Amino acid sequence: MADTDFSSTPKESSSSSSAYKPLVYDLLNRLNASFARVHRNMLLLEKAGIFDPLMMQVLNRQSERLSRNRSVGIELGRGKKLPGIVTGMHGMVAEGIFTTTAAVGLAQVRGVEMPITEQMHAILHQGKAPRDAIYELMTRSGKSESSAFGS
């Protein structure tokens, strides 16, 4: 079960060690910093003439085809239920199954509306039909995206 404690203060682990639970925003900041380093290195390699952005796109598309998260989504779209899909993965992990719960919890704590993530959570963990989730998303009333940022 995913940890859904999103408070802004670290809590002590239930284990005997005094290790702190990592906070979701701390992990996201670390990930963002990693992406920034990768991007900076890609720019330097391109400047040196040894990086091809088109090749990177091809490699990225190839890895997407092999993605466990994508595989789970395809099987859900075919009407299979999550427990059966997970069993068929033979111990491999599709991170999105668990991070969707964390994202929904964090959004609720922060008061942020995340309709796509909420619908994905309903499909994964509440047995909602993907067709119903898509219908609800597509029939939502329109609103300005920039209003969420105070513009």
Residue predicted with more confidence, 44 or 104:
104
Interior CA angle at 27 toward 119 and 6, to 5°?
60
Residue predicted with more confidence, 143 or 26:
143
The pLDDT of residue 13: 46
Cβ neighbours of 94 (radius 10 Å): 19
For domain 67-141, the question of CATH label 1.10.1040.10 is answered with yes
Note whether 107 and 114 are within 8 A (CB): yes
Query: Which phi and psi angles does 7 have, rounded to 5°?
Result: -65, 160
Q: Is the pLDDT of residue 110 over 50?
A: yes
pLDDT digits (tens, 9 = 90+) for 124-133: 999 999 889 9
pLDDT digits (tens, 9 = 90+) for 72-99: 888 888 888 889 988 888 888 888 888 8
The pLDDT of residue 121: 94
- For 18-44, give the DSSP string: -PBPPPHHHHHHHHHHHHHHHHHHHHH
